[in-house]
Chains A and B, each alone.
Chain A
């Protein structure tokens, strides 16, 4: 666990403690369960966004994709009677293909990630609304799908399965990002794409794969959201969710320039965002202010982090310069840097 992640965890606990002192309901099983469910739902696609941001890119289409795939899933299962495992598979395939399209447009046709996924945001939302004719897609009255419901909105030991899903996927992604060759290449590409290419890394493949992972995880999240809300209103479902994902990643120590960040960080970022949402509800702050609270906290967090890094860099630079020159007579090259290396 990085120092950064640790700091975020401490912040989460502090905020939690403050909320609990103000309103003990915070730690009630019902509230914790609901919050954990939301953390799972949002964490799923925030992790995906992390992969994209690691490359120095961005995926703005996440929210619209959740709406489009949600509409399709509900219709497939509810309206056309497609068996739900098949429907899930179809949704995953569509998501993967959309991610592949993003990746190829960005790597092969050299388009900017912001532009490609902004167009995705508009197109998917538009298609979702056009396909349903602005009508809400829902399951037929009284229909139920016990296994599917158990998998998505069920609970074990009081813990919602969405949360479990996020943990399982998070662990897999942790191995992929931090312990696999692909993950290492992803970090290198994000830091310096040209140098990575000269090191023999297939940068186009690595970047495309990041968008595919992001879209595939978004597809999984789309199914969970559809089951959670039970009906999908195509013009509002998933609105701004891409921003939640980006915010979680930034809070979790990702740099939008690429190359920096960790899975634990983005998950903790998602936790903090839901905690803040919860704080707004529990402390009686008008819920219309929840975006303002989130924005202020993210701004303060990133600012503090940056100032801290600046301070550390300055201290390191001073240390490397060695002892201050006295009278300017002795001009020595202190090998101070080598001493700094031993932790």
Chain B
């Protein structure tokens, strides 16, 4: 497949890169090389330092120490412009396209072609130049299509075509398939093979190990900000990757339940939500169990949680909470019934970042800490201190803004908000995204303790290790519907994925 193996040369080398933020070391002493024409997969758990490393390559942040070597030139500081001029291009997870412009305008943004005496835009020339590039990546849309009309997959192809138009030598793809369908993923694989044949290097960041096994020439593994090792073409397999990524056995995360599951705490019957009006949802969360909810991005997991919590509407169906009918028209209803949500986006919906820790903890329950409409600062502080001690929230003072805390401690503040009240059911949506391993383990223990104490625990997670390691039972969503349910002996990444994608 690769006959010219010996002709490959080092395109870029990162040497001894470290990056420390206030109090947190994101990367320590990482060295990594990229050869021209290779697909280098970069893997690691959330928070392992992948995105920090890529931001350094993009010139968006500067390393605390270490340097970058490109074409024998050494860069101690590396700017966005330098990154672009040496031919590094990004295809982002959150795509940076401008949906108020058309395809060609996006492709040539910042490098517009001009014509005529007035040096106005040469729209025709740009469209003509865009056409062959779009064809090269197998895109079926035309250069004059408004980007607003493109699907996510098509926008991604546009980003790749744009990378080609700036003569990129290295294209960094960050979770490129997270919102793609299977057939779209296949197209992308073909495009990547084409890039490789032209000598363009690709850094492929993904959690989908089967894709990596399919397309990568080499795998570079990061763990807790350090290089955990490399796998050559022949060594790439699923087990080896997981072992390197987590550095321990999967099952060590699993703390067994103290008792057998009891009656359902929450049960949904024939529920339709506004977000996925065609899908019928039915499942139970039992007393004493942690229910894992798995599925691909876009399967409707978060939407389902938000519907239960009263943020989005439920169109029809029956929900029972501890044997009584339950329906939340707004989050206040859910909270009053003891149904709490730990949301996916901690910084946007979990916390008021610019408010003190104590106010965040008490925000949902100010009524019980006030009299005559005046909030008692003493009670607020006391409750916050109580949660700080119970959850081990590391902050010097509960009056500090939540923004100043690390990810793990922020998540504990979100948890403290709910645990200081009377939970009947807590929905955790991606509870450990972007937080350190130590805090993760603490959160898993906490979920287990809640389940043992009779609180319903529902955990939505895209992290396969987590779903399999922590849950007592897994339901898998596919296009808004429950595709199946797995009990502990049936747990395997293969089985979960099979249900998630619906393959035979």
CB contacts (< 8 Å) of B120 on chain A: these are 175, 179-181
Q: Chain A contact residues: over half helix, strand or loop, or mixed?
A: helix
Shortest C-beta distance, B135 to chain A (Å), equals: 14
**A181/B98 in contact, CB under 8 A:** no
Q: B103 — nearest CB in chain A belongs to which residue?
A: A341
Interface residues of chain B, those whose CB is within 8 Å of chain A, are 60, 80-81, 84, 96-101, 105, 109-112, 114, 118-121, 140-142, 145, 149-151, 154, 181-184, 278, 478-479, 481, 502
CB contacts (< 8 Å) of B98 on chain A: these are 187-188, 191-192, 195-196, 259
Tell me which of A187, A200, A340 contacts B100 (CB under 8 A): A187
**Which of these binds chain B: A82-90, A150-158, A269-277, A331-339?**
A331-339
Complex CA gap A199/B98 in Å reads 11
Given A191-B98, A192-B96, A328-B481, decide whether A180 and B121 contact each other with a Cβ distance below 8 A. Answer: yes
Complex CA gap A197/B481 in Å reads 41
Q: Which residues of A (297-343) have their CB < 8 Å from a CB of B?
A: 316, 320-321, 324-325, 328, 331, 333, 335, 337-338, 340-341
A230 within 8 A of B: no
**B81/A200 in contact, CB under 8 A:** yes
A184 within 8 A of B: yes
Shortest C-beta distance, A50 to chain B (Å), equals: 14
A75 within 8 A of B: no
Complex CA gap A333/B81 in Å reads 39
Shortest C-beta distance, B410 to chain A (Å), equals: 23
CB contacts (< 8 Å) of A328 on chain B: these are 481
Report the interface size class on chain A. 20 to 34
Complex CA gap A180/B119 in Å reads 8
Given A200-B84, A201-B109, decide whether A338 and B101 contact each other with a Cβ distance below 8 A. Answer: no
**A199/B109 in contact, CB under 8 A:** yes
CB contacts (< 8 Å) of B154 on chain A: these are 337-338
**B151/A320 in contact, CB under 8 A:** yes
Q: Chain B contact residues: over half helix, strand or loop, or mixed?
A: loop
**B100/A260 in contact, CB under 8 A:** yes
Given A192-B98, A195-B98, A324-B278, decide whether A201 and B121 contact each other with a Cβ distance below 8 A. Answer: no
**A333/B100 in contact, CB under 8 A:** no
Listed A/B pairs (27) with beta-carbon separation below 8 Å = A175-B118, A179-B121, A180-B118, A184-B105, A184-B109, A187-B100, A187-B101, A191-B101, A192-B98, A196-B98, A196-B110, A199-B96, A199-B110, A200-B84, A200-B111, A201-B109, A201-B110, A316-B149, A325-B278, A331-B479, A335-B183, A338-B140, A338-B141, A341-B140, A341-B141, A341-B145, A341-B149
Tell me which of B84, B99, B110, B184 contacts A191 (CB under 8 A): B99
Q: Which residues of A (195-213) have their CB < 8 Å from a CB of B?
A: 195-201
Shortest C-beta distance, A308 to chain B (Å), equals: 15
Shortest C-beta distance, A259 to chain B (Å), equals: 5
Shortest C-beta distance, B282 to chain A (Å), equals: 13
CB contacts (< 8 Å) of A198 on chain B: these are 60, 80, 96
CB contacts (< 8 Å) of B181 on chain A: these are 333
What are the 5 tightest A-B residue pairs by CB atom distance, in nearest-first order?
A200-B110, A195-B96, A199-B110, A337-B151, A333-B181
**A181/B183 in contact, CB under 8 A:** no
Q: B109 — nearest CB in chain A belongs to which residue?
A: A199
